Amino acid sequence: MISLVVFYFIYSYSGDLITVFYEKLQEHISIIFNHRIIQEIKQNLASLNCIISRLIANLKESQIIIKDRKKYQDKIVIGKKFSSK
């Protein structure tokens, strides 16, 4: 009878240990998984930042080209007006 009580105590205690170990393992796995997700998000944000910077630079260049084109169009139109008179 005593051995049965001791066996039950060991079994229930080891079950608690396994449960605690499993819960801690799940916590560590979720922390590692979350860390990887955060790292991927940081990398994607860095890539997105580079893309946005290039896009802004291209937009600024196109605005300069459009402004220059307008200046040259005015000169061309003026030149045509003078040549047609």
Instruction: Output the average pLDDT for the chain.
Output: 76
Report how far residue 25's alpha carbon sits from residue 4's, in angstroms, rounded to the nearest whole number.
31
Domain enclosing residue 3, as ranges: 1-85
pLDDT of residue 47: 94
Residue 25: what residue type? L
pTM higher than 0.85 for the full model? Answer: no
Q: Please count the structural domains in the chain.
A: 1
Q: Is the pLDDT of residue 85 over 60?
A: no
Q: Which one, of 71, 68, 73, lies nearest residue 81 by Cα?
A: 73
Q: Grade residue 54 by pLDDT with cuts at 50, 70 and 90.
A: very high
Who has greater pLDDT, 14 or 53? Answer: 53
Joined tokens for residue 8: 């039950």
